[in-house]
Structure formats: C-alpha cells, structure tokens
Amino acid sequence: MAQELTGAEIVIKALVDQGVDTIFGYPGGAVLPIYDALFQQNKIRHILVRHEQGAVHAAEGYARSTGKPGVVLVTSGPGATNAVTGLTDALMDSIPIVCLTGQVATHLIGSDAFQECDTVGITRHCTKHNWLVKSPQELTRVMHEAFYVATHGRPGPVVIDIPKDVQFQKGEYTGPQNVVHRTYRPKVKGDIEKIKQAVDLIANAKKPVFYTGGGIINSGTVASQLLREFVRLTGYPITSTLMGLGAYPASDKQWLGMLGMHGTFEANNAMHDCDVLINIGARFDDRVTGRLDAFAPHSKKIHVDIDASSINKNVRVDIGIIGDCAHVLEDMLRIWKSKARRPDKDALSAWWKQIEAWRARKSLSFKTNDDIIKPQQAIQRLYELSKHRETYITTEVGQHQMWAAQHFPFEQPNRWMTSGGLGTMGYGFPAAIGVQIAHPDALVIDIAGEASIQMCIQELSTAVQFMLPVKIFIINNEYMGMVRQWQELLHEGRYSHSYSDSLPDFVKLAEAYGATGIRASKPSELDDAIKRMIEVPGPVILDCVVDKFENCYPMIPSGAAHNEMILGDDAEGATVSEEGKMLV
C-alpha cells in the first residue's frame, strides 16, 4: 500500500524495510533532511565516522563479516569525493555497499554551487551502478533497486545521489516486494553440460589443484561447506587467493596455503605443474598468475565465476562456467556422486608426494632471536594467543598484510577482511570498526603497519565514542616495508621516501584519543603485551616494534613464473627482469 512521505522519510523507511540496522556516515548541508529523519527514529543506528573514506571501509568490514550489504550516508561534494577510494575498493573486491550521497538542490545542479560535484559522473567508474534521483516519485524504486543491484550477481558498491529538495518533497513509498528490476537478472545456475564436462575433467586429473577465491566467501557459508565437501571427496590439494582465505580450513592437510606473489612454495609449484586447474570464484588476478605465458602451462583450466567478463579476461580457460559458486558446487557434487566418480588413486598419491617435497622446503620459515621481534613471529604469537576466541582479522596494505595472510591461519569464512584488489592503505582500521559493530562480542584485530595506520587513524575517535574494543596491532618497522622491499629488488636499495620519519609515539597517541597504548620491543615482552591488548576493555593500540629489515618471502618477482620463486633463505642478490620492472 502506497503512502506519502518526504524523500528523507522514504530513504529511512526503505533502509528499514531492507533490513538495515546500522549505517556509517558523516553529516553535511546536503544531507541534513535525511539526518533529521534519522534523529526522529530508533530502528537504525548511525555510526559517526571521522572521514568519509572511513565510513565506506567500515561498511565494507560490516558487509564482509556478515554477508549483508553495508550502508553509507555522506554529504555532497567533498563527502562524496572522500568516499571514492572506499567505493573503488569495494568494486575491486566485490563488496556490496549502498552509498547514499546528498546533492545540491535540483535547480542548482550544474551551477557550481557550494559543495556541488558531479557525483554520478565521478562515481560511475567506481560503482557497479549509480543513480541521480531527480524526483521523490523515483526514490522508492531506486532505493530498493540499489539493494538488489548491490547484492545480486557479482556484488559491488552502488551510489544513490539525492538532491536536497528531493529529500524535502513528498512522494509515494512502496515496499521492496513490488520492485522488479527491468534489466538486471544475473545468472546463478551454471550450464549443466559444462558442469558435467568439468566433473569428467576433474575426475580424470592426474595432478589437479583447486584454486579458489573471494567468490566462495561472497556466495555465502553454504558455498564454503560445499567446497569443503567436494575437496575432501576428491582428496585433491587446494590453494586460495588472498580474498578467499577461510573458505577452506587452514588446518586441513589438503590445504596448501595461499598462492600468488607471496604464496607458499607448494601452492605455486602445484599451480605451475598441475594438469587440471579448478578455479572457483577467483579471477586470475596478476598477483596470482605472475607471468601469464608461463602460468599453469600444462593444465586444462576450469573457471567458475558469476561474472561472465571474468572468464577468459586474463587467462584463456577450457571450461568457463557462469554461475554462483554455491549453485555450481552443488551441481558438481551431485554429478560426482551420481556417477560414482573416483579420483585416480595412484596418480594422486604421486602428486601428493611431489607436493610434500615442495612443502618440506618450509617456505614460510624465518629465524628468530632474543633481541628483536620478527614480524612473522609477532603474527604467529597473535594467532596462538587469540585462536581460542571468536577472532576477526582486518589488515592494512603492505608487508604486514602478506605476513598476516601467511602466518595467521583461518578456519572459517568471513573472518578475514583485507583490501585485495585496490590495495588501500588505511582500509584495515575502519573495516575493523565495521566488523566490531556487527559482532560486538568478538575479538576484532587490525593487523597494521606504522605507515598504513596513519592513513585512517582519525577513526580512533569513532572507536572511543562507540566503545568499540577494536585492537590495532602495529607491525612497526619504521618503513613502508613493501615499498622498501621493491626498492631493494628494483632500484639497488635506493630508499626513496620509504622511511617512516617523524612517527608519532603510538602509545601516547592512543592515550590522547582516550584509548589504551601498549608497546612491545623485545621478544620477551611480546606475549604479555598481546595478552594485555586482548584483555584491556576498549580500543587498544599495540605498537609492536619489529626487525626493520625483514622482507616478505617467499616471493614471485614481477614478470616471473610460479616456479621461479625467491625463497627467504636465498633472497640475497635476487633481481627482477627488465620486463618485470615495468609491472607493479
């Protein structure tokens, strides 16, 4: 039944009807009517961030850890432009976000009014879709369509730009049940003939490997369960991208660890030598493939992806299946069982023997000593001291992120939030705030670097205001470590502007915000510091002072193949090809 409401009321009502309980935002002139409507209700909780980029990352953390869309509310002009980094991040990592932006009144659009910018123009390239709502009559449809588009098919961010006069004017409101999208109907069921072919190929493989990604996480926990069942049924090895960690339990013996640029020796060599590669919900990203013409060169490739444009984009595959991971896995399992398929036992045991030989290289190993904390050691201790809890990890971007991916094992999906595609420094802390909002009783830790954390440190104020016990675990090596590592590899160790000079005292910084600050400088202090960080109520910064010159290995240098990894113990003097230098 239709009812007349103001545009601002329509926005709130639609959010409630879409099941939204929390939004992340920052007020301003062009969204005042919506903020006024928010003030007069109590169904939606508003988390006031300190910068709009933080709002989007927080919404991403909320979305990634719950499977529900994250909602953002910001004002026009700088509010919208500050959100752009977060939106791009969500687009690259396929995170469902509905971002509402205020806009100047319709009659002012195009006049260079105060805090006006072409929001739909600017965000067209960093959203899955966006709308400028020019009348309150369109608002109800657009609101519901926005949630549908953000969450269906390959998830992604959407922007609804709402001029201020539209927020005041009255229009009809109808519930979400009456909205059917005119054009957008993504396919979730895979082509059954192709799935049958894929199962045949999988069953006849001699040296198979599963390569899974964030698509499994996005598809939901059912996809994770189906994946586990299928992988165990086959007995095949499995590796995953950065975004897919947790979909398959890291403690399982079939798990090879992460693959790609900083993946394990066994995962990358298995990828290189495999004869059947089963990609489910990953997108052959350049961090994963390395040199394309030497990528899994002897393999038949199967690719399951909900986005048809991901198939055959970077790597040509033999069987491309367009569909949702859970649906396709369900069909694969059913067909596998009904045809009573069995893996080739002899071939498989030879393959595992080879893999165990690679695994015996212990490519993630590192040397500890009594004087200085090794970054990998810090993360391993963090894991050991938090594994019995309901723990969620977010990260910033750089060496600490890769060490976290390598040394913090995950048993469940949705516990690992990181900026994979865009590589956004400043992501982790606001994302942790979003995770903590969604899981108030969980232990939420942002594994950070001393450089990254400064990109969204202002959100410490948010954490204190909302009493969010987020823990910031800073791996402090006084360098933009990954930049420095590449300068060593590519530019003969000329550390151009990669030293983190004039660092704040992070303990005092935490205290200045009203949080708790702790420092650990020696291996002997590490465990106590971590325990205290976990036990102290409220937000905590643990400034973990680590070895300044430790680098992240193993590594596939850019422009190299999977079987040309640099391992930590022979990294001295490693170089990059001239071609590789052109790559990032």
Partner 1 sequence: MKKDETIERHTIAVLVDNEAGVLARVIGLFSGRGYNIESLTVAEVDQAEHTSRITIVTVGTPMVIEQIKAQLDRLVPVHRVMDLTVEANSVEREMALVKVAGTGERRVEALRLADAFRARVIDTTHTSFIFEVTGAPTKIDAFIGLMRPLGLVDVSRTGVVAIARGPEAM
Query: What's the min distance (Å) between Cβ of 308 and partner 1?
Result: 5
Among 415, 412, 439, 417, smallest CA distance to 225 is for 412
- Indicate if 193 belongs to the active site: no
Give the phi and the psi of residue 479 in degrees, each rounded to 5: -140, 150
Residue 195's CB is within 10 A of a number of other CB atoms, namely 25
For the chain, give percent helix, strand, coil, nearest 5: 45, 20, 40
Residue (160 or 256) nearer to partner 1, CB: 160
Query: What's the min distance (Å) between Cβ of 310 and partner 1?
Result: 8
**Coil, helix or strand for 534?**
helix
258, 425, 455, 482: the active-site residue: 482
Return the structure tokens found at 159.
């922007």
Residue (300 or 471) nearer to partner 1, CB: 300
Residues in the chain: 584
By rule CB under 8 A, what count of residues binds partner 1? 23
Using the rule CB under 8 A, give the single segment among 56-64, 255-263, 311-319, 423-431 that binds partner 1: 311-319
Q: Per CB under 8 A, does 327 bind partner 1?
A: no
Q: What is the DSSP letter of 373?
A: B
- Of the candidate residues 180, 182, 253, 338, the single one contacting partner 1 (CB under 8 A): 182
The CA distance from 372 to 383, in Å, is 19
Q: Per CB under 8 A, does 141 bind partner 1?
A: no
Residue (137 or 500) nearer to partner 1, CB: 137
- Indicate if 4 belongs to the active site: no
Q: Per CB under 8 A, does 107 bind partner 1?
A: no
AA identity, residue 296: A
Residue (316 or 491) nearer to partner 1, CB: 316
Check: CB of residue 549 under 8 Å from CB of residue 493: no
The CA distance from 411 to 404, in Å, is 14
Return the structure tokens found at 86.
């977060």
Q: What is the DSSP letter of 448?
A: E
Query: What's the min distance (Å) between Cβ of 522 and partner 1?
Result: 50
**Coil, helix or strand for 164?**
helix
68, 115, 354, 465: the active-site residue: 115
- Of the candidate residues 149, 385, 438, 482, the single one contacting partner 1 (CB under 8 A): 149
Q: Per CB under 8 A, does 297 bind partner 1?
A: yes
Secondary structure element (H or E) that encloses residue 242, with its range: none
- Indicate if 13 belongs to the active site: no
Q: Per CB under 8 A, does 549 bind partner 1?
A: no
Using the rule CB under 8 A, give the single segment among 49-57, 176-184, 379-387, 389-397 that binds partner 1: 176-184
Among 273, 256, 274, smallest CA distance to 265 is for 256
Residue (129 or 581) nearer to partner 1, CB: 129
**Per the omega criterion (within 30 degrees of 0), is the bond before 554 cis?**
yes
- Indicate if 43 belongs to the active site: no
Q: Per CB under 8 A, does 129 bind partner 1?
A: yes
Query: What's the min distance (Å) between Cβ of 315 and partner 1?
Result: 8
Query: What's the min distance (Å) between Cβ of 296 and partner 1?
Result: 9
AA identity, residue 481: G
Site string for partner 1, 267-296 (x = CB under 8 A): --------------------------x---
Tell me the angle at which helices 345-359 and 265-273 cross, rounded to the nearest 10 degrees: 140
Per the listing, tokens 């600050």 go with 517
Residue (163 or 434) nearer to partner 1, CB: 163
Q: Which residues of 25-35 are buried (b: 16+ CB within 10 A; e: fewer)?
A: bbbbebbbbbb
Query: What's the min distance (Å) between Cβ of 318 and partner 1?
Result: 10
Check: CB of residue 299 under 8 Å from CB of residue 305: no
Using the rule CB under 8 A, give the single segment among 180-188, 219-227, 446-454, 504-512 that binds partner 1: 180-188
13, 18, 24, 52: the active-site residue: 52
| Residues whose CB falls within 8 Å of the CB of residue 376, separated by 6 or more in sequence, listed in order | 364, 366, 403, 406, 407, 550
Q: What is the DSSP letter of 565?
A: P
- Of the candidate residues 10, 23, 31, 132, the single one contacting partner 1 (CB under 8 A): 132
The CA distance from 577 to 356, in Å, is 30
Q: Per CB under 8 A, does 187 bind partner 1?
A: no
The CA distance from 272 to 134, in Å, is 53
Q: Per CB under 8 A, does 309 bind partner 1?
A: yes
Query: What's the min distance (Å) between Cβ of 121 and partner 1?
Result: 7
Using the rule CB under 8 A, give the single segment among 16-24, 129-137, 218-226, 532-540 that binds partner 1: 129-137
Where in the sequence numbering do the catalytic residues fall? Answer: 52, 114-115, 164, 482
Q: Where along the sequence are the contacts to partner 1 (CB under 8 A)? A: 120-121, 124-125, 128-130, 132, 149, 153-154, 182-184, 293, 297, 307-309, 311-313, 316
